[in-house]
Amino acid sequence: MRALIIDDSSVMRKVIERALRQSGLDLTEVVEASNGEEALEALRKDAGSPQKIGLIISDINMPVMDGLQFLEARRDQQLAAGVPVVMITTEGSEPFVLRAIAAGAQGYICKPFTAEQVKARVMPLIEAA
Amino acid sequence: MAASQAKQPEWIARLDSAVFEVFEMMLARNCSPAEIADAIAPCISARILFSGVIDGECVLFASESVARATAEALLGIPSEPGDPMAGDAIGELCNMIAGGWKSKLGSDEAGCAISPPSIATHDGTIEVNAHEGIRRFYSFEGHVFGVHMNF
């Protein structure tokens, strides 16, 4: 599976990738983006790919375009429709969670997190997709 | 300011809890309060701004070697001098501590927004004897870093 990980911290992108691999996910490639704008561009390029991105993990607080703006733009532009999106963020308050879900996020994990929490939220979405 | 000062003991307890939680869950390390230092050697700092219901900042500062130890603990791989991941690790540590601290507030105050971290490097020592706000030092495996919160 190919996954798109969006976070302005390169360290956190690596930490999330490691947690996904520890969850048992067979990742063939990880596409990295440091903000929502880069992520949208990655999804546009991915549209013609034979093996499409099958999972999107996104932070919320990012410069240029944040995670919620990314979700809304992705929905409006109909990019990667049906691909599970899980937010991993420090923003755990209800308004953020509700807005993320309304914009298409299926999972929500608050930082700090454990690999077990990532597995519990992500794997059911992958199996159902 | 008076209201903020009245809440300081509670906010310190929440800060300690947020720091310990981040280290336990993300770094698999024990972290404990440390003696107050007067200055931190040439170092890296990360700043998060709070805005909205609460206006203020959270600044985390550490030496370059402590930043590298943090990157190693987060990533599980060695970090060499000059590693750009070191500053990034301090930024993410600050982000998670500020976010964890915010999440432990009451529902009204937790509605404040937090900014992405801004990271800076400093050639000289940083004086850390600020007179306002919360200032705490922590240690993990002998590595000491500081957190300053001001509102």
Task: Determine the pLDDT at residue A10.
Answer: 95
* B58 CB-near residues (< 8 Å, 6+ apart): B47, B48, B50, B94, B97, B98, B101, B147, B148, B149
CB contact under 8 A, A9 and B95: yes
Please say if the pLDDT value at position B144 is more than 80. Answer: yes
Please say if the pLDDT value at position A92 is more than 90. Answer: no
Name chain B contacts of A18, Cβ cutoff 8 Å: 75-76
Q: Which tens digit of pLDDT belongs to each residue from A31-83?
A: 999 999 999 999 999 988 889 999 999 999 999 999 999 999 999 999 999 99
Task: Determine the pLDDT at residue B37.
Answer: 67
- The interface pTM score, or ipTM, of the predicted complex is 0.88
Better-scored residue on pLDDT, A58 or B125: A58
Lowest-confidence pick of B33-37, B53-57, B88-92, B146-150: B33-37
**For A97, nearest residue in chain B (alpha carbons):** B111
**For B100, nearest residue in chain A (alpha carbons):** A90
According to the 3-state scheme, what is the secondary structure of chain A? CEEEEECCCHHHHHHHHHHHHHCCCCCCEEEEECCHHHHHHHHHHHCCCCCCEEEEEECCCCCCCCHHHHHHHHHHCCCCCCCCEEEEECCCCHHHHHHHHHCCCCEEEECCCCHHHHHHHHHHHHHHC
CB contact under 8 A, B71 and A14: no
According to the 3-state scheme, what is the secondary structure of B60-106? EEEEHHHHHHHHHHHHCCCCCCCCHHHHHHHHHHHHHHHHHHHHCCC
Q: Which residues pair with A55 in a beta bridge?
A: A3
A11, A18, A62 member nearest B92 (Cβ): A11
Please say if the pLDDT value at position B4 is more than 70. Answer: no
CA A2 to chain CA centroid, Å, is 12
A62, A92, A112 member nearest B25 (Cβ): A112
Please say if the pLDDT value at position B136 is more than 60. Answer: yes
Please say if the pLDDT value at position B1 is more than 60. Answer: no
Task: Determine the pLDDT at residue B110.
Answer: 65
**For B111, nearest residue in chain A (alpha carbons):** A93
Residue with tokens 């690790």: B89
Name chain A contacts of B85, Cβ cutoff 8 Å: 10-11
- For residue A84, give the nearest of A107, A115, A68, A100 by alpha carbon: A107
Name chain A contacts of B103, Cβ cutoff 8 Å: 90, 92-93, 110
What would the mean pLDDT of B70-83 be, rounded to a whole number? 92
State the Cα–Cα distance between residues A102 and A12, nearest whole angstrom.
25
* Share of residues in chain B with pLDDT > 70 (%): 85
Q: What is the mean pLDDT of chain B?
A: 87
